[in-house]
Structures are given as structure tokens and as C-alpha cells.
Amino acid sequence: MPTPDTEAWLLLIYKVPSDSSRARVAVWRELKRLGGFYVQQAVCVLPDREELRAGLEKVRERVAELGGSSVFLTLTDVDEDARSQFVEGFRSQSAKEYAEIVEECDTKFVKEIEFERFRENYTFEEAEEIRQDLEKLRRWLAKVEGRDWMGADGKELAHSKVADCERLLEEFEADVYERTEGKV
């Protein structure tokens, strides 16, 4: 497992009006999309990277638009306990996301192809719909990898499962071709 080389961390502390769950959820969603790790409620940390700084500035603008306030700090002197908490928090987040991708492959994707085979629904339209599902899985995996700064477990398995899905789809598409074009 790679050793994180993060020397500095970005810390955002924010407050949004308590009467609006919509505002709290909007900020939370943006920070999670960036890959933020919540140390506690309304306190989020990220590794110090230029693209994340820009993302946090946008979140701060959103907090202000929602009538809230925020404090943005760069932490350079982080004790080993806090650093370990951050690293393990990021690893755990990414590992959970990789596991969700594996679950999506094993349940939804594989079951969809099995169901279409059972129904004998060998149409171009169905194959195209499943192809779009595969593309969603690939985009999701790329996003998770892009936020996996600490080398979480599960990356290889997620890649393997997405590759399995691709093989299953290619087999299904070949069957669709044989059953439709082969009859012309």
C-alpha cells in the first residue's frame, strides 16, 4: 500500500443555516464529490492539492450563497495521530466506494444481462442500454480512483469486476448480432 506523501492538508469549517436541510445537503454533496473526509460535523479535510483548493473555494462560495459562513485553513503541522486519522479516513472512504462498484457489477449489471437472456430480449436497443450502464460504471470507477489519494484496498477487484462486465456485455452483443443480423 503506498505511503501518502501529503505534507499539508486543507481544512474547511463551515456553518449553514440550520433551518435548511437542503443547504446542508448541497454543501455535503459538493464536499463528498471532491473526496472530502469529515473529521466531524461541518469540518472537512482534504489533501493539499491545487485542484482541491479550487474546489473548496467554490464550496465556500456556495456556503456564502446559502447564507452561511466558512473558514478555510491549510494545515502544515499535523501530529501523527491526526495524520493517521486522515489517511485511514480517506482509505476507508475509497474502499467503501470500490466495494459499491463491485456490488453494482455483481448484482445489477450481471443480473441485468442474465435477465435479458432469460427473456430472450436480444435487441440492439437492450445491448445499447446495457452498454450505457457499463460506461456509468467506468466513469464511477475513474472518479473513485481520482479521489483515492491514500491507496485504498479494493481498486484491483473493482477493475477486475468492471472488466468482467465488459466481457459479459461483449458476449451478449455477439449474441444479439447473431440473432438479429444473422437472420437477414
Question: Domain containing 28 — which CATH number?
Answer: 3.30.70.240
Neighbours of 35 (CB within 10 A): 22
Q: Please check whether residues 13 and 73 belong to one and the same domain.
A: yes
pLDDT, averaged across the chain: 93
Strand 9-15 with 69-75, pairing: antiparallel
- Three-state DSSP at 40 gives strand
Q: Please check whether residues 62 and 141 belong to one and the same domain.
A: no
d(CA 1, CA 20): 41
* Confidence band for 181, pLDDT divided at 50, 70 and 90: confident
From start to end of 31-146, where are the E strands?
37-40, 43-47, 69-75
Is 50 exceeded by the pLDDT of residue 121?
A: yes
Q: Please check whether residues 157 and 112 belong to one and the same domain.
A: yes
C-alpha 180: how far from chain center: 37
* Domain containing residue 61: 9-78
Q: Please check whether residues 54 and 134 belong to one and the same domain.
A: no
Of 155, 173, 129, which is closest to residue 2 (Cα–Cα)? 155
Q: Please check whether residues 153 and 95 belong to one and the same domain.
A: yes
Q: Please check whether residues 52 and 106 belong to one and the same domain.
A: no
Q: What is the pLDDT of residues 8-23, one digit of tens each?
A: 999 999 999 888 788 8
Contacts of 175 (CB under 8 A, 6+ apart): 117, 122
Question: Residue 83: inside a domain, yes or no?
Answer: no
Q: How many folded domains does the chain comprise?
A: 2
Final residue belonging to a domain, choices 32, 51, 78? 78
Q: Please check whether residues 109 and 176 belong to one and the same domain.
A: yes
Whole-structure pTM value: 0.88
H or E stretch at 88:
helix 80-104
